[in-house]
Amino acid sequence: MVDRHWKNALQPRGVAAAVVLAGFALMLTVNLPGHFEFDSIRQLLEGRRGVYSNWHPPVMSWLLGVADAIVPGASAFVIFDAALAFGSILSLLWLAPRPTWPSVAAAALAVSLPQLFLFQAIVWKDMLFADACLAGFVCLAHAAVNWQRPRRRFVLLAGAVVFAALAALTRQSGVVVLPCAAISLGVIVARFASRRRALVYGGGFFLACVALILGANTALQLRASKALGPIEQIEDLQLYDIAGMLQRRPDLGLPLLEREAPAMARRLREKGAQLYTPIQHDHLTDDPIIHGLIVASVAAVGRQWRALVFAHPGTYLAVRAEDFSWVFLSLHPNECLIYEVGISGAAADLQAAHLTQRYDDRDAWLDEQYGTRLIGTPALSHPVFAAAGLIGLFVLLRRRRPADLAMAGLLTATLFYVLSYFFVSIACQYRYLYALDLSSIAATFYLVMDWHWPRRAMASQSAASQDNSAVARDS
């Protein structure tokens, strides 16, 4: 019996699982209690006070408040967040009947990349979104593999609903996860049952996610402040676009602003083009005069932005393309924040959060000996991970095992999420597209661990088709 257990442990699945678990433990050892910056500290304070400004997703602040109640700070949140990512990748090993030895090397590479070794300990909503998205689709993949076991299937589908809803609550454009997950589930069900049942499952999944999101958001808004966070964020984006368009075409007219908000129109004429930069919108919206006029000019700015976009779509798209290129291409590491280590923030916020500035020996090693050396390499390049994701998507859609369809849905969802930043990008920080990197890492690991294509894939499809009638009866 003992010999058999050791033999199983020394198979590729057991060794790869040990590597992932060791990577998780080492990541926590090196990084806990986590890394904070301005946004992280503000969200921790909101969670501790139980009052949400809506400048950040309230679900993130709520989770930080729960974690802070368990252990002061964000250690519990970091462990939970990282457990979603590492646990999801670990569970992929049980989607294949017999993982191959290359999965061990793939696991070692995955846990050594900064996306898992460093970013998972940074208290940013972008990590939570990516991890929840990954966990949701991995639950769908396991449900596909366990479709003939109704009880296990419904537990996994319930988990997928919870994680997909959490992803959508964490980032505004994260709602693209919902239709992608629902369609993936429908396609999976169509492999086992009728199209009608596929529509029922897909539609039911989507409605369950929407209901959970609406219920959670309603509950969180009971503790929201009266701040106009989302409204001002939209205006910030519109002002950013207008300033970028003025930089490209100084002759553009602003008739609506000049009539309804002349002070804002005058300031944009004087300083808008000069303050615009694809690095971030703060240079523009933190201008004392513009900042003081934002609340009073919400409606006028919105109308002027729409008029300019419809009248000069080419100029608008050129501005958007420049902004998107800065966040996606990863070509300006000196101007665009890549990662954060230690604790940094405003003195008043640090005092209120009972935190102190931190840049200790571990932080210095992470920054100077680890992170900095990877900047400018494929390890920190969104285009590299986008290429890996597109290749993986092609292979998954050609192979089309039931679990493949869920992993293809993951890649599709994150690619759509990335494309949304063409229209909403207001800064070039690397973290905004972190979900692309993580989903590509997970999908590549999934493919490498069981690389049998197309001969084995065809055999698997044949076996699946033979089981269709029996599985349909269980459905």
Residue 122 has φ and ψ, to the nearest 5°, of -90, 130
Count: domains in the chain:
2
Q: Does pLDDT of 58 surpass 50?
A: yes
For 353-380, the pLDDT digits (tens) are: 889 999 999 999 999 999 999 999 999 9
Q: Does pLDDT of 279 surpass 80?
A: yes
Which pLDDT score is estimated for 172? Answer: 86
For 229-272, the pLDDT digits (tens) are: 678 889 999 999 999 999 999 999 999 999 999 999 999 999 99
Taking the model in full, what pTM does it have?
Answer: 0.92
Please give the average per-residue pLDDT across 90-117, as a whole number. 95
**Same domain flag for 466 and 388:** yes
Which pLDDT score is estimated for 452? Answer: 61
- Domain final position from 313, 329, 345: 329
**Same domain flag for 250 and 189:** no
Burial track 211-250 (b if 16+ CB lie within 10 A, e otherwise)? ebbeebbeebeeeeeeebbeebbbbbbbbbbbbbbbbbbe
Which pLDDT score is estimated for 467? Answer: 43
Please give the average per-residue pLDDT across 444-461, as a whole number. 67
**Same domain flag for 244 and 137:** no
**Same domain flag for 234 and 138:** no
**Same domain flag for 246 and 187:** no
**Same domain flag for 426 and 289:** no
Please give the average per-residue pLDDT across 57-65, as a whole number. 94
For 155-172, the pLDDT digits (tens) are: 999 999 999 999 999 998
Q: Does pLDDT of 17 surpass 90?
A: yes
For 413-437, the pLDDT digits (tens) are: 999 999 999 999 999 999 999 999 9
Domain assignment of residue 60, yes or no? yes
105, 15 Cβ separation under 8 angstroms: no
Mean pLDDT of the chain: 91
Domain assignment of residue 132, yes or no? yes
- From the CA atom positions of the chain, what is the Rg in Å? 24
Distance CA 393, CA 388 (A): 9
**Same domain flag for 314 and 273:** yes
The amino acid at residue 68 is: D
Q: What is the percentage of the chain residues whose pLDDT exceeds 70?
A: 92
Taking CA atoms, 383 is separated from 128, 212, 387, 433, in Å, by 22, 34, 6, 11
Q: What is the percentage of the chain residues whose pLDDT exceeds 90?
A: 83
For 383-414, the pLDDT digits (tens) are: 999 999 999 999 999 999 999 999 999 999 99
**Same domain flag for 134 and 51:** yes
Please give the average per-residue pLDDT across 188-203, as a whole number. 93
Which pLDDT score is estimated for 233? Answer: 87
Which pLDDT score is estimated for 8? Answer: 57
**Same domain flag for 21 and 137:** yes
**Of all helices (H) and strands (E), which one includes residue 432?**
none
**DSSP codes of every residue in 52-96:** B-SSS-HHHHHHHHHHHHHSSSSHHHHHHHHHHHHHHHHHGGGSS
**Same domain flag for 92 and 128:** yes
Comparing C-alpha atoms, which of 423, 389, 384, 370 is closest to residue 27? 370
Please give the average per-residue pLDDT across 191-208, as a whole number. 94
Please give the average per-residue pLDDT across 325-344, as a whole number. 94
Domain assignment of residue 112, yes or no? yes
Distance from first CA to last CA of the chain, Å, rounded?
Answer: 37
The amino acid at residue 239 is: L
* pLDDT band at 451; cut points 50, 70, 90: confident
Q: For the chain, how many residues are written?
A: 475
95, 126 Cβ separation under 8 angstroms: no
For 182-195, the pLDDT digits (tens) are: 999 999 999 988 99
Q: Does pLDDT of 469 surpass 50?
A: no
**Same domain flag for 288 and 425:** no
Tokens of 60: 């993130």
Provide the domain limits for residue 427. Answer: 10-223+358-474
Please give the average per-residue pLDDT across 53-81, as a whole number. 93
Tokens of 215: 């219920």
* pLDDT band at 5; cut points 50, 70, 90: low
> Residues 218, 219, 224, 228: what is their CA dihedral angle, to the nearest 10 degrees?
-10
Which residues lie across from 1 on neighbouring strands?
none
Domain assignment of residue 149, yes or no? yes
Domain assignment of residue 346, yes or no? no
Domain assignment of residue 200, yes or no? yes
Within 10 angstroms of residue 417's Cβ, the number of other Cβ atoms is 25
Domain assignment of residue 352, yes or no? no
**Same domain flag for 399 and 434:** yes
* pLDDT band at 61; cut points 50, 70, 90: very high
Domain assignment of residue 3, yes or no? no
Q: Does pLDDT of 295 surpass 90?
A: no
